[in-house]
Structure 1
Amino acid sequence: MNSPFAHHLGTNYCPTDEEIPDIRALLVEPSLRLQRLNAKIAELQMALEKLAEERESLVVYMDGYKALISPLRRLPLDIIQEIFLACIPTHRNCVMSASEAPVLLGRICSSWRAIAYSTPRLWTQIHLVEPNRFYGVDMPSVEAKAAQRFAATKMWLDRSGDCPLSISLICGIEDAEYTSTTPSHTPPFSQALIPFAARWQHVDFLLSPAGLDSILGLVESDVPLLQSVKLQYDYPLEPRTTQLGSLGMLRGPRISSFCGSGNDIISENLPLRWAQLTVLAMTTAGPWQSLMTSESALEILRRCPELRTCRLTVNDGMESGVPSLPAIELKSLNTLELHCEVVHYTLFHLLDRLSLPELRNFALSGRASVPHDFPSLAKSFTGWPRLESVDITSNTFSKASLLESFRSLPDTVQELKIHDIPSDPGAPLITSLDDDALAILTPTDGLHPQCPVLEVLDIVHCTDVTDEAIFRFIAARMSDEFETKLKRVHFRCNRGVVLDILPSLQPFIENGLDVSINYIVPFKPRSSPWQGLLDAPIDDLRFTEY
């Protein structure tokens, strides 16, 4: 539309008083046309809304009849039950929550609820959490929730029929001083489980004093199906220590796996059928809290000839002597993990007395007790011809013993993880892991490196391994001349970046290598111009500083 004012559009031009009537005259016809268009649009919108209502009514009518002939309605009961069972978590026990199976399945419709409630296998797993009772909580509210969960637990387990049960229980924390003035009316949740003890198959109990008391009366005949037991008890036991020794349920005829956590649970005096154990774990919240010495660990291992997996927390004092027990052979042991706060020479004597021909996975963590050379793991590695995974703390060794251990790694090792624990703040830096250790694993001039089938290397907190050494290692291992290629390399460096090698590693990454090299980023203080103001933006660091 031609107009004498068209060239002023989009500018800051201000018309004169004489020009304003002319501009208004130009808008008369467009305004009438706009009104006609708006009226037509409104008419069409009403027609569309009427058609949409008619369509929605037709869809509802058709969906009702389609539902009658839905294939899901005609599925056999056993197929529906298998689908329901596939909804159950496989990596843990079921939670008492309407957000996941099996409770969720009963919230869909009445027919599904009937099927879910009448399928015992859906209710064979349960994770049970007892509410805490301590000063500051609303005790009536806690008691109501506890009573509700207690009753729900019984209903849940009643639905499991005669099936074996997998149960995990976290007992509530009780403030003795507070509960003495406001006693609980709900029994310990472990009491709700006692009537079903004959069907326990796998149990994982984090016990309170009241929870421990409730299971002390169980004997081996009460748990005929029990196969695996995990007990955690971190309260000061005092007189309860002797009671644990009479925990008769631990002599269950089928128990093959025992995991204990807590000072006094780590004991060779537990009434276990040691000879039939295939899995044994005895740990504490911190290695320094363990009451197990290398000698007592060796005594326990002597009783367990069928072990396949073993995890122990060992605490040898300076007064500990060399284990005097004879050497033992564990023909089936596949995994051995030893955790210590301070590694003493006695631990290496323990390893020297173990013959482990089938060992595949080995882990040793802890710091050296004194700054002198400890024996290396060379002798042990030589006796473990099938070793595939090694996880050790480099600070356990002097540099010389660490290099000797590296040179003795079996050719079968596929995964290697090294923790280079940083020194305490203010202490001089002591590290045994440097470029020389990595060079043992790096092919050079066609020479056969250690661990020729290595696929995974993970080094944590390394300080003295340089970027150049990391690149040489990766490039040599990924070269066409080397048959077994790396799959994953992770470095977490306790220093800043010196040489950025990631661009040079890009060809290997494109070929599938998983590379992660992380550095400590120096802290850079920033001062926001909004500091001190109540209306400062939440993310004020995004703003430019002046």
Structure 2
Amino acid sequence: MSDRQYHSSWNKDNSPFASLIGTNHIPSSAELNMLKALLVQPQLELCQLEAEIDRVQNLLTGLLSEKQKLTDYIEAHRALISPIRQIPTETLAEIFVWCLPTEPLYAVRNLNAAELHKTSGAAAAPLVFTIISRDWRRVAVSTPRLWNSLHIYLPPHLSRDDFSRRIAGITSWLQRSGSLPISFSIHEARVDYYATNFPVTCSLGIGSSTGHVHPQLDITVRGENMQSMLRALMPFSSRFGDLSLSLSTLSFSFFHQLSPSSFPTLESLHLYDLGTSRGLSQSSESHDKFATLLSSMPVLRKLDLKQFYARDQKYLSLPCNWGTMTRLAIGDGLIPSKALAILAEMPRLQSLSLQITVNEEMSNSVVHLSELREMQLQVQQLGGRHQPISIPVLASLIDCIQSPSLRSLSLTSLSPLTVSEWPFSGVSLHALEILELDGTFLPMVLTECMSQTPNLITFMLTSRFTSFTLQDSHLSCLTSSPCNLSPLWPRLQNIRILTNKHQVMGRQHHSELVSMTSFTNAALITFLESRSQATYPLKYCDVLYSAQSQTSFSEAELYTLRNLKQNGLKLRIYCHPVPANPNIPYHDSPEGGMPRPENITHINVESDMESRYGHGAVVIL
């Protein structure tokens, strides 16, 4: 019987009982006999088909098994001739080194790339290379450049056993670095934070006092753990080239006690005081210990004291070779005269970050910093952050800093009050390539800034408090059109716009601070379309709207934005949620407390778009 005949003969529509199939008809005795006779042949053929299917299935199973054996045989031998096996060990090691992440600043002990800044698998290097194969592990372990950088986060709950395992891992890691200079960061979590968020009543071990603390925050255990950690690190101290310490007052005292007489190769030092405000370095004893520590660093070139203070702001009394310093960061709220006195001793300075407290004293002592390429200023007025900043005094300070090589500038106003004048109007910013503004500036301030910085490549603008600085008129000045054949910032390639950051971070000071963005979707999209076709096309654009913003995009606008992304623009638009609960749960993250980069040239880092509550709804990513 052919397939066609078979198909036709067993069609239910051709059955003599077709009209009864699917009904509630009760067959008669005669019909029952007819049905039984009718089913004899199809049941016989069904058995034959099942037998044939079993035979074919067994045949197919055998063939698939043979196929798998052949595939395994071929792949096993192909692996032996894989090109990567022909790569010399030295070349493979170099490839591993190039896979190391450039951000964060230090390597971390992490194999979970998804948790580490949600970036690519390269973020887990170098540990990931030790779990691929025996040969790769051998190459990785024997390549010192993979292991001469490490960041360690120390949460306060760690037991002695946990600490011992962490110390063993750190020691093994650094031993693999051979004789190379070491970049090392250690961040100790704040105790007071955990005492606040994890209330457990227990004895503090001092008399009969009790308090609300983490159940494993015994000060004796923590002190012993930290001393054990520092003792394990000190054998490597002669190779420290970059050191970042974010420690409590007690732990700093341990570090001082256990330190060698000299750190002969240390060129970069970052200190962060986790103790009470100004408590660590304000006392005479602590100041002397700090001075002694600095005197043991003969080749120090970079000093970051953003959260570490010299007594009475007498920084020049510290035993540093100021004349050879290339980077300085001080977060002590220096008045202009003291800032200029320090800068006058640092002719080779290349990177500067200062927090300035503006008083009423005009500056007139000019300092020449011919090599300065990056400057970051955080400014507030004497008397508190809610005092208006005296722009003439700030401008006089800026005018006194002669920096013809300046390429990167960051200005942050710590006051919620509006900055009404551009303080850099008296200096040349023609060569500036990177600009970051953070605060509340009048639109006219941004207009003057734009006209003064013709060669800008990267621009970042953050609105901290009230109305947003960026207007449609600014975007129009940056947009090429028949009415604007020579737009400003023709070399612009990276732009980041963060709106109402201070509200997003949950620190509103006044009820009237809620505001909406002052530029429209149409102006933004027209700007993006124009710049995508420019001589220097836009590469990155990040926009972060506040929780209070009512911004929404139409389907047509979203279609245009997606087309821009498909054509190569790295575009991200987010909207922050209103924070529901500001308490952050404890998380022992390998990158916890990681220092931020010294420069502001990076822009495409997703973590920068996030607040402590996450970055919320994604408009387009």
* TM-score > 0.5, shorter chain as reference: yes
Give the counterpart of 1:146 among 153, 163, 166. 163
- Tell whether the 8 Å contact from 1:194 to 1:215 is kept in structure 2 after alignment: no
Q: Deviations over 1:380-414 (max 9, x none)?
A: 4x51220122222462x4455444444x4232223
Q: Which residue of 2 aligns with 1:410?
A: 453
* Cα separation, 1, equivalents of 2:248 and 2:51: 75
**Structure 1 residue matching 2:291: 3-state secondary structure:** coil
Structure 1 residues 359 and 183, CA, compared in 2 at 3 Å: closer, same or farther? closer
Alignment of structure 1 residues 198-209 onto 2, 5 Å: 198-209=238-249
Partner of 1:541: none
Q: Is the 8 A contact 1:394 1:433 kept in 2?
A: no
Is 1:379 aligned with 2:445? no
Other-structure match for 2:176? 159
Counterpart of 1:286? none
8 A Cα contact 1:205 1:230, kept in partner? yes
Q: Secondary structure at the match of 1:379?
A: coil
Q: In structure 2, how many angstroms separate the alpha carbons of the residues matched to 1:378 and 1:207? A: 37
Aligned partner letter, 2:279: E
Amino acid at match of 2:27: D
In structure 2, do the counterparts of structure 1 residues 185 and 413 end up closer, same or farther at CA, with 3 Å as the change threshold? Answer: closer
Deviates more, 1:113-122 or 1:300-309: 113-122
Equivalence map 1:321-360=2 (5 Å): 321-324=360-363, 326-340=365-379, 342=385, 344-345=389-390, 346-360=393-407
Distance 1:37 1:436, change over 3 A: closer
The Cα RMSD (Å) is: 4.4
Q: CA separation in 2, counterparts of 1:503 and 1:119?
A: 48
Greater displacement, 39-48 / 383-392:
39-48
SS in structure 2 at match of 1:201: strand
Instruction: Check whether the contact 1:220–1:252 (CA below 8 A) recurs between aligned residues.
Output: no
Q: 1:439, 1:98 → 2: CA distance? A: 46
- Show structure 2 runs of 5+ residues with no match: 1-9, 113-123, 196-203, 206-216, 500-515, 579-621
Match of 1:292 in 2: 334
For the residue of structure 1 that corresponds to 2:230, the secondary structure is: helix
- Alpha-carbon separation, structure 2, partners of 1:33 and 1:6: 20
Could you say which residue in structure 2 is the equivalent of 1:451? 489
SS state of the match for residue 451, structure 1?
coil
Q: What amino acid sits opposite 1:150 in the alignment? A: I
Compute the displacement of 1:146 (Å).
0.9
Name the SS for the 2:334 alignment partner.
Answer: coil
Number of aligned residues: 493
Conserved? CA contact 2:270–2:303, under 8 Å: yes
Distance in 1 (CA, whole Å) between partners of 2:300 and 2:144 is 24
Does 2:364 correspond to 1:364? no
**Alignment check: 8 A CA contact 1:415 1:454 kept:** yes
Structure 2 residue 217 is the aligned partner of structure 1 residue 193: no
2:518 aligns with 464
Measure the CA separation in 2 of the matches of 1:398 and 1:484: 28
**Cα shift at 1:147:** 1.0
Change (3 A) 1:483 1:386: same
Task: Name the SS of the counterpart of 1:30 in structure 2.
Answer: helix
Structure 1 position 353, deviation (Å): 1.7
Match status 1:13 vs 2:53: no
Q: SS where residue 153 of structure 1 aligns?
A: helix
Superposition pairs of residues 62-461 of structure 1, within 5 angstroms: 77-79=89-91, 81-82=93-94, 85-86=97-98, 88-91=100-103, 92-96=105-109, 102-103=126-127, 105-106=129-130, 116-133=140-157, 142-171=159-188, 178-180=217-219, 185-186=224-225, 187-217=227-257, 222-236=262-276, 238=279, 240-241=281-282, 242-243=287-288, 245-249=290-294, 252-264=297-309, 268-269=315-316, 270-283=318-331, 290-316=332-358, 320-324=359-363, 326-340=365-379, 342=385, 344-345=389-390, 346-366=393-413, 368=415, 374-377=420-423, 379-380=425-426, 382-393=427-438, 395=440, 397-406=441-450, 408-423=451-466, 430=467, 433-441=470-478, 445=483, 448-461=486-499
Percent of aligned pairs with the same residue? 26
CA, structure 1 residues 28+131, in 2 after alignment: closer, same or farther (shift >3 Å)?
A: farther
- Output the CA distance in 2 between the equivalents of 1:70 and 1:385: 53
Partner of 2:51: 39
- Cα gap change, 1:419/1:20 in structure 2, threshold over 3 Å: closer, same or farther? farther
Q: Distance in 2 between matches of 1:93 and 1:278?
A: 20
Is the 8 Å Cα contact of residues 263 and 291 (structure 1) preserved in structure 2? no
Secondary structure (helix, strand or coil) at the match of 1:314 reads strand
With over 3 angstroms needed to count, the CA separation of the structure-2 counterparts of 1:296 and 1:14, relative to structure 1, is: farther
**Residue 30 (str. 1) matches residue 77 (str. 2):** no
